[in-house]
Structure 1
Amino acid sequence: MIEMLKNMKYRYLLLGVIFTLALSLILLTLLGVGSPYITAIAATLSLYFFPIGWIFYHFRKHHQSFRQWLQPTRFKISETVAAVIFPELLGIGILALITLGLILALPAGGFNELPETPATNWGLVFISSVVLAPICEELIFRGFVFNKMLTRFSPAKAVILSSVIFGALHLTTGISPTLVGMVLCVIFMKYGSLLPCMIIHGLHNLAVMLLKYSSSLSADTATATELLPADMQLLLIIGGIFIVIGLVWLVLFFRKNWHYAAEFMLRFHGAEEPLPNGAGE
């Protein structure tokens, strides 16, 4: 496994993604596919299907199997629910404070005139976000990216770096993807399987989708109003509470489960292999 991961170069993956994206956009345009769907289809092909196919090719080439990342395992429902809720609370809290800072920094009325949001096909959003994304993104980020980083870095560095990359590709959904990515890395090391990660990821995306859906319903009837000082104070209080709750849970979660990192390094990468510098940290 380690030798295979070392031979899988990031630059080839990146070049393949760019080529697939460009080719998809050209072909879909020539086929006359409607503009709302061109970007979504091209992004799915380049960001999901090509990387999964590329990883699968290397697995077959080195006589490996995805099943070693998808071992059935028992995991706690309470832990699953907590991993869905608390990182999102922390992310929402941080985002609330950032939003408050932007409101105070921008000229008065800067947030009053918002562009109209185009109609959303919630069925496609569900399939993409709750079904397709958790499966593909866990295989790509916790499976390939995280494991490959462990061939060079300590678990702590691999968790942070892979999660920052994961979060950078989800900037439109706020701060929480990076936090969720960190939690999912630990879950993967704890259970030695991506199945719990996929379930948590799917439930998290479902919760976010339902929040967006409820927001879109309220936005249809809401009228633009200026944010009053009392509202800003409430936003500050709620954001602070969410941050405290999320941080406390995150610290306790890592303190309770971080010892699985050393066990993971030995189990998945072989005790006979030299561990990366600081792997036991």
Structure 2
Amino acid sequence: MSIIKAFLYTVLAFVFWTTIQLAILLPIKYLIGEPDDFTHLFGITKIVSVVGAFLLIYFFFWKPNFDFKKALKVQNYNPRIYLYLPLIGIGLLLINKPFWDFNKIMEYFQGISTNDNFVSSNNNIALIYSLISTLLIAPIVEELFYRKFLLDRLLEKNKPILAIIVSSICFSIMHIETPNNLTPTFISGIILGIIYFKTKKTGYCIMLHFIVNLIIVTTNNIGISDENWLIGYNFDIYYWLSFGVGIIITVIGMKIITTANTVYN
């Protein structure tokens, strides 16, 4: 796959995603009327649009020959790798924290108060939809699309480093609705891309994606925002040391994983 094609597929996925949302929401609004409670409507629409967009790509442009029995066999996966995925997940969050905090860091050095105004949601139904979308749908759908589909095809015609970078940019672009998340998703995409390139197993990527999202969701729902977890907004030496620690444990985890995987190739 060419680089241009990879970006076009990403745009197409975004178009499918948006079109499905509009196809659900507009008829309800103009033919039935706006509901009193949007929780179910928005929750279902978000899930259906993401899955629907992927399925359209799957059936019309990908059509892979999946061996699901082989993919689900526990014997094909190295348990040591799963043990170190949480280490990488924590490392990624420490690395990405300054990028999530970028606006707060600017305010801090300008002498502006950086008090966190985050308020967690008490809507249990909305939380259920969020958990389904964030912990189940996103890891599976996004890893299949960006790693199994895009990265695999890019590797056929491009050098590994270029293929991983391009697929990571595409992964980042789809999170453009949260600008402070563009760099973190790019960095995460690089790590996920390397893991996929070294292991050729999407299962590891799905699990790491799940772990990262789980930590963020957990902190969000115990009254701590994803920006303010662990060490808050004290941008002192300890804050930046945590960034360095994140790099170190991520590198160590990646080294162990790529070494451990040689036994299962």
Partner of 2:57: 54
Change (3 A) 1:113 1:214: closer
CA separation of 1:95 and 1:236: change in aligned 2, threshold 3 A = farther
Name the residue aligned to 2:24: 24
The alpha carbon displacement at 1:244 in A equals: 0.8
Asked if structure 2 preserves the Cα contact closer than 8 Å seen for 1:8 and 1:58, the reply is no
| 2:193 paired residue number | 185
Residue 153 of structure 2 is aligned to residue 145 of structure 1: no
After TM superposition, the score normalised by the length of structure 1 is 0.68
Aligned match for 2:132, one of 106, 110, 127: 127
Shift of 1:134: 1.1
SS in 1 for 2:65: coil
For residues 257 and 170 of structure 2, the distance between their equivalents in structure 1, rounded to whole angstroms, comes to 22
Q: Aligned-pair distance for 1:186?
A: 1.7
Shift of 1:177: 2.8
CA, structure 1 residues 80+115, in 2 after alignment: closer, same or farther (shift >3 Å)? closer
| Aligned amino acid, residue 51 of structure 2 | Y
Q: What is the CA deviation profile of residues 117-136 of structure 1, one whole-angstrom value per residue up to 9, with x for unaligned ones?
A: 65443322222211221111
Specify whether residues 52 and 92 from structure 1 end up closer, same or farther in structure 2 by C-alpha distance, changes over 3 A only: same
The residue correspondences of 1:1-281 to structure 2 (distance < 5 A) are 10=9, 12-29=12-29, 30-31=31-32, 32-33=34-35, 34-60=37-63, 64-65=65-66, 67=68, 70=71, 72=73, 73-75=76-78, 76=80, 77-96=82-101, 98-105=103-110, 108=112, 114=117, 119-121=122-124, 122-170=127-175, 172=178, 174=181, 175-215=183-223, 234-252=234-252
Q: TM-score, normalised by structure 2?
A: 0.72
- Could you say what secondary structure the match of 2:148 adopts? helix
Question: 5+ residue gaps in structure 1?
Answer: 218-230, 261-266, 268-281
Identity %: 17
Larger CA deviation: 66-75 vs 241-250:
66-75
Q: Output one character per residue of 1:129-178: Cα deviation in whole Å (capped at 9) or x when no partner.
A: 11221111111111222223324432112212222332343364745333
- Superposition RMSD in Å: 3.8
Contact 2:84 2:257 (C-alpha < 8 Å) held by counterparts: no
Looking at CA atoms only, which structure, 1 or 2, has the larger radius of gyration? 1
Separation (CA, whole Å) in 2 of partners of 1:113 and 1:99: 9
> What code does the residue aligned with 2:247 have?
L
